[in-house]
Amino acid sequence: MNIQNIIEAKVKEGFLALYSTEIPTVEFQATRKEFEGDLTVVVFPMLRYQKGNPAQIGEDLGKYIVEHVSQITNYNVVKGFLNLVIEDAFYSTFFNSIYTDSTFGTVAVKDQEDAVLVEYSSPNTNKPLHLGHVRNNLLGFSVAEIIKASGKKVYKTQIINDRGIHICKSMLAWEKYGNGETPASTGLKGDKLVGNYYVKFDQEYKKEISALVAAGSSEEEAKKQAPLILEAQEMLLKWEAGDSQVVALWKEMNSWVYSGFDVTYKNLGVDFDTLYYESNTYLLGKDSIEDGLKSGVFYQKEDGSVWCDLTAEGLDEKLVLRSDGTAVYMTQDIGTAIQRSKDLPDVGGMVYTVGNEQDYHFKVLFLILKKLGYSWSKNLFHLSYGMVDLPSGKMKSREGTVVDADDLMSEMTMTAKEISEELGKLEGYSDQDKNELYKIIGLGALKYFILKVDPKKRILFDPKSSVDFQGNTGPFIQYTYARIQSIIRKANFDYSLPVVIELHEKEKELLKQLELFPETIQQAAANYSPAIIANYTYDLVKEFNSFYQNVSILGEDNQEKKIFRVQLSDKVADTIKRAFLLLGIQVPERM
């Protein structure tokens, strides 16, 4: 139990003893630098439960805590803030307990607890992954790793959108204009080759529309009557009917795309435990609609269509089955969620990483699943995120103006190379070592820039400013880690044994930041927010750099102090590395 938990329990106990009243929570903040103390209890929220002078309540609680918590040596009250002084011995004992603990901060997975399924990526097989997918993948992967670190079993999954009219557009364009070319014959990644034909379809389709409009059709009529769109619709009907030629082409072109995706995922550093395909799930959900009709969750209109009335919950009426008996996306999503709970019976909650344009869809989906009576439906979460913009403007897949994920990663590596060469710190590196380092720095910059922002916020991503060796950036944190590794390499003495010293103020500040790591992981998991981990790590690095600038480490004359400072630096580096792993970011040993 960390010191904050101990104090929280005693504040609650003291409040009950002093005022015969229970308080549900205790609010803490760091003690301001100008006051004596290590942790501050905010008294003002307690006035809801006990009227009185906040300064007097602070005095009463301060006396109680000093009497009942051995680690608290003194207190002072400034208006409604109770500042508590924690003894150095607590931090020394804490450090000795974590120094050799390679799992510090994380909780072992408890088998008896419900597992969590995290869905992310979920691309279409008619185009490569783009910048929007990058944010989706980084968020989903990181949230999965954080939930795992908090003590829960996690399954990472994606649903691949491998069917529909947009897939047929790429297939038809390749058939018409491809001359049999393949990824092998062109040297192109399969997802890029297929994506090129999606763009080609749009170009030719627009030409046909223009010709029809010139011949006297309205634009709406032309869009519906253009020969290409009619052929694509015919191809989709053939696919749904199981036409052997269409299905064979579909399988071949999708296999090209999957090979391309695998390369991108590997470079991005994300993975999956299970895969779902829309071609297998698009008919799911119809049985649930039948069950829901019987139980009164749904109702049928005169035309035969089936609806769910959510007006009592402040939403609207939602179509779940068309009058001709065909499913809508909502039907599929209901069926897929239920299928997943059957495939993975230990799953007690699901996280959907999907952009915020789908907020309403997921509100409706979760509500319907709750009405259908599934126990796990209370643990569904939409990890909603804002779009990623570039200074160059909005992206459109069919016009070929998207920022390709592979190209973005290559650009980040090149940007890291340019800036590193300007700084000129890589003497003695082989070309292979340099290239590996540029990749670690470039991808670290990209991932950190995206993950340090609250998921709900829209991001304007500027590659150049993200690869900055100063400020709240990935490379700044990576550089601090590498600096500590340099200290460790130069420490040519045995620093493995625990020592007891009188703590310097800067050492104590650093230990206070380290102590927050386990709680930070739990908080990030509860809020599905990698930003909490990212910003904790930045605060830890700032605290270390302040310590580094104010305290001599290897130049210290006192051997015990020198040992402790190397140990402390070592543990900070280990915590940076493990925090960054939760974000999917590597750290370099040298930089």
Q: Two tokens at 381? A: 């979460």
In terms of pLDDT, which residue wins out, 117 or 465?
Answer: 117
Q: Give domain status of residue 109, yes or no.
A: no
For residue range 151-190, list pLDDT tens digits in order.
999 999 999 999 999 999 999 999 999 999 999 999 999 9
Least confident span in 361-370, 389-398, 418-427, 532-541: 389-398
Answer whether 487's CB lies under 8 Å from 573's CB.
no
> Based on the domain organization, do 435 and 563 belong to the same domain?
yes
> Based on the domain organization, do 447 and 543 belong to the same domain?
yes
CA 588 to chain CA mean position, Å: 22
> Based on the domain organization, do 558 and 430 belong to the same domain?
yes
Given this model, what pLDDT does residue 468 score?
84
Most confidently predicted of 350-359, 412-421, 430-439, 493-502: 350-359
What is the mean pLDDT of the segment spanning 498-517? 93
Given this model, what pLDDT does residue 246 score?
97
Query: Which residues, including other chains, have CB under 8 Å from residue 99's CB and lie 6 or more apart?
Result: 498, 567, 570, 571
Given this model, what pLDDT does residue 401 score?
56
Given this model, what pLDDT does residue 396 score?
47
Q: Give domain status of residue 292, yes or no.
A: no
The percentage of residues in the chain with a pLDDT greater than 90, rounded to a whole number, is 87
For residue range 317-334, list pLDDT tens digits in order.
999 999 998 889 999 999
Using 50, 70 and 90 to split pLDDT, how confident is the model at 465?
confident
Say which CATH number the domain at 52 has: 3.30.1360.70
Distance in angstroms (rounded) separating the CA atoms of residues 482 and 493: 20
Distance in angstroms (rounded) separating the CA atoms of residues 327 and 286: 7
Distance in angstroms (rounded) separating the CA atoms of residues 71 and 326: 67
Q: Is the pLDDT of residue 269 over 80?
A: yes
Q: 169: domain range?
A: 164-276
Say which CATH number the domain at 560 has: 1.10.730.10
Given this model, what pLDDT does residue 397 score?
43
Alpha-carbon Rg of the chain, whole angstroms? 29
Q: Give domain status of residue 214, yes or no.
A: yes
Q: Give domain status of residue 352, yes or no.
A: no
> Based on the domain organization, do 172 and 267 belong to the same domain?
yes
Using 50, 70 and 90 to split pLDDT, how confident is the model at 422?
confident
Among the candidates 30, 56, 86, a domain finishes at 86
> Based on the domain organization, do 52 and 178 belong to the same domain?
no
What is the mean pLDDT of the segment spanning 369-397? 84
> Based on the domain organization, do 174 and 261 belong to the same domain?
yes
Given this model, what pLDDT does residue 42 score?
96
What is the mean pLDDT of the segment spanning 66-76? 96
| Rounded (10°) angle between helices 329-343 and 286-295 | 100
Least confident span in 131-145, 396-410, 560-574: 396-410
Least confident span in 256-265, 321-330, 351-360, 397-406: 397-406
Q: Is the pLDDT of residue 245 over 50?
A: yes
Q: Two tokens at 7? A: 């104090």
Query: Which residues, including other chains, have CB under 8 Å from residue 286's CB and lie 6 or more apart?
Result: 321, 325, 327, 331, 335
What is the mean pLDDT of the segment spanning 135-153? 97
Q: Give domain status of residue 312, yes or no.
A: no
What does pLDDT average to over the chain? 94
Using 50, 70 and 90 to split pLDDT, how confident is the model at 425?
confident
> Based on the domain organization, do 55 and 174 belong to the same domain?
no
Helix, strand, coil percent content, the chain, rounded in steps of 5: 55, 10, 30
Answer whether 318's CB lies under 8 Å from 364's CB.
yes
How many domains, in total, are found in the chain?
Answer: 3
Using 50, 70 and 90 to split pLDDT, how confident is the model at 391?
confident
Given this model, what pLDDT does residue 398 score?
47
> Based on the domain organization, do 82 and 180 belong to the same domain?
no
Q: Give domain status of residue 514, yes or no.
A: yes
In terms of pLDDT, which residue wins out, 239 or 390?
Answer: 239
SS3 (DSSP) at 372: coil
SS3 (DSSP) at 388: strand
Q: Give domain status of residue 363, yes or no.
A: no
Neighbours of 35 (CB within 10 A): 12
Q: Is the pLDDT of residue 248 over 90?
A: yes
Answer whether 576's CB lies under 8 Å from 587's CB.
yes
Using 50, 70 and 90 to split pLDDT, how confident is the model at 428?
confident
Given this model, what pLDDT does residue 523 score?
96
Among the candidates 25, 52, 86, a domain finishes at 86
Residue with tokens 């789908």: 358
Closest CA to 568 of 519, 492, 510: 510
Query: Which residues, including other chains, have CB under 8 Å from residue 555's CB and lie 6 or more apart?
Result: none
> Based on the domain organization, do 568 and 427 belong to the same domain?
yes
- The helices-and-strands tally (H runs, E runs) of the chain is 22, 14
> Based on the domain organization, do 79 and 190 belong to the same domain?
no
Closest CA to 443 of 479, 402, 415, 403: 415
> Based on the domain organization, do 553 and 457 belong to the same domain?
yes
SS3 (DSSP) at 272: coil
Answer whether 402's CB lies under 8 Å from 126's CB.
no
Q: How deeply is 386 buried, as exposed, middle or buried, from its count of CB atoms within 10 A (0-12, 13-18, 19+)?
A: middle
Query: Which residues, including other chains, have CB under 8 Å from residue 176's CB and lie 6 or more apart?
Result: 204
Q: Is the pLDDT of residue 393 over 60?
A: no
Among the candidates 48, 69, 86, a domain finishes at 86
Q: Give domain status of residue 524, yes or no.
A: yes
Using 50, 70 and 90 to split pLDDT, how confident is the model at 463?
confident
What is the mean pLDDT of the segment spanning 222-247? 96
> Based on the domain organization, do 426 and 558 belong to the same domain?
yes
What is the mean pLDDT of the segment spanning 398-409? 75
CA 21 to chain CA mean position, Å: 40
